[in-house]
Structure 1
């Protein structure tokens, strides 16, 4: 039995090692950072954020203050038993994570959904992917990528459902395990977050459910690495609202690169073979 356990452990370690190598090689983990850079350079992409900034920040502050007042002491008492002296820091991180979750759930459901779509589409237009964006919305004349965006024909971003919220709070229990639990929590969240960041792209490409699943599975490590970076950024209280937009920009930049790579591959295949 012990030999079988060792064999399974070795196989899992090798699988994780391969996934980690694929994640590093993909470079997808860096797209959220690219999103920050691209967002701050291209001022026209600020428009959807600035239109929602004041109500979103007010909501974030209110939720964070409420969560610390109501939940900090009871959770600190539990963590003091499990984590000892580290309980103070662990509880702060836990409450911030919970606040970020509630904020993201309410924010993306009721405040910024359309603004994120505009940001994603505007980034694609700025990367000369207008024909792709035109599959999901009207394109009009304009002086910048955002002003060119017309009526949205459909809204693809899957909103945070109660099921997603329940799963998230189940994952939160991992934070009761010092250090390792928090790492596992972020990885699990990243695995879920990564593919959802390309929901708009999948719709613009008119992918079926099976096509989406196949596409994601081939890039599972890349999507997880993207998601981990994005989750860490959005966990920052209040500032998470800005990173929600920069992560969207990063996801759109990644989609644009995929399109360019696919286009280059198609052009290469279609080139006439030279006569020998």
Structure 2
């Protein structure tokens, strides 16, 4: 039994190491950072954020207040056993992180969904892919200027509406944060693994990918999507600034999609499958 446990542990370590190496080679982890610089330097992409800033901040303040009133003391009590005298500070930081994450989940589902889609589509148009965006909405002609103003009405919305599953899954992973260092790392990795493919939901829709095609595309880039998701999750966990990073992450995801289009490496075999279907 001991030998099997060691063998299994060794295999898991090798799998994690391979995933990490593949993620580093993909360079996808840089796109959340690229998204920040691109977003800041292109003012034409700012209007969706500006329009939703006030209601999102109001939601964030409400969630943070609720979390401190109802969850701070219980978590501080538990962390007294793991963090000792630093329990009060650790619990406060944890509550802030939890509040930021919950604010993102709720705001994406209830407030900024359309704004994030506009940011994604606007970035693709800026990067020279208006034809791709035009598959799901009208793109008005024009050169330099307000790229968001060139976007017509949405034909469809790819992002999942609010469901209890997102909150339930979050709270299932939440206890990992009570384990110093290792638990927090595991929490972020699990969240990032889910976040990566979700960031390209709009791209999958614009490419008219079926369920199996999308699964194949993601599976072939599993390490890349995880490496994108981890820094993106960390950025959105930053209290207050998380809303800003939600838009820069969307911009970064669109930059990645634009590069996939330019290099022609989207879902290898997708074109062949489409021809066979015809």
TM-score, normalization: structure 1?
0.92
CA distance in structure 2 between the aligned counterparts of 1:127 and 1:211, rounded to whole angstroms: 25
**Aligned-residue offset at 1:83:** 2.9
CA distance in structure 2 between the aligned counterparts of 1:44 and 1:240, rounded to whole angstroms: 20
* Structure 1 residues without counterparts, runs of 5 or longer: 267-276
Please name the residue that 2:8 is paired with.
8
Q: CA RMSD, aligned part only?
A: 1.6
Pairing 1:220-235 to 2, within 5 Å after superposition? 220-235=222-237
**Aligned-residue offset at 1:144:** 2.9
Secondary structure at the aligned position of 2:264 is classed as helix
Secondary structure at the aligned position of 1:16 is classed as helix
* Structure 2 residues without counterparts, runs of 5 or longer: 269-278
CA distance in structure 2 between the aligned counterparts of 1:83 and 1:40, rounded to whole angstroms: 38
Please name the residue that 1:171 is paired with.
173
CA distance in structure 2 between the aligned counterparts of 1:229 and 1:148, rounded to whole angstroms: 31
Please name the residue that 2:276 is paired with.
none
CA distance in structure 1 between the aligned counterparts of 2:162 and 2:177, rounded to whole angstroms: 21
Spell out, residue by residue over 1:199-257, the C-alpha distance to the aligned partner (whole angstroms, 9 max, x if none).
00000000000111110011111111111100000001111010000000000000000
Please name the residue that 1:272 is paired with.
none
Please name the residue that 1:75 is paired with.
75
**Aligned-residue offset at 1:263:** 7.4
Q: Is the 8 A contact 1:127 1:256 kept in 2?
A: yes
CA distance in structure 2 between the aligned counterparts of 1:15 and 1:164, rounded to whole angstroms: 27
Secondary structure at the aligned position of 1:191 is classed as helix
Please name the residue that 1:161 is paired with.
163
Pairing 1:160-199 to 2, within 5 Å after superposition? 160-199=162-201
Q: Is the 8 A contact 1:32 1:251 kept in 2?
A: yes
Secondary structure at the aligned position of 2:81 is classed as helix
Please name the residue that 1:21 is paired with.
21
CA distance in structure 1 between the aligned counterparts of 2:89 and 2:212, rounded to whole angstroms: 43
Among 248, 258, 261, the alignment partner of 1:259 is 261
Please name the residue that 2:115 is paired with.
115
Residues 238 and 163 (structure 1), Cα distance of their counterparts in 2 relative to 1, 3 Å cut: same
Pairing 1:69-108 to 2, within 5 Å after superposition? 69-108=69-108
Please name the residue that 2:51 is paired with.
51
User: Given the alignment of the two structures, is residue 128 of structure 1 paired with residue 94 of structure 2, yes or no?
Assistant: no
Q: Is the 8 A contact 1:141 1:147 kept in 2?
A: no
Please name the residue that 1:242 is paired with.
244
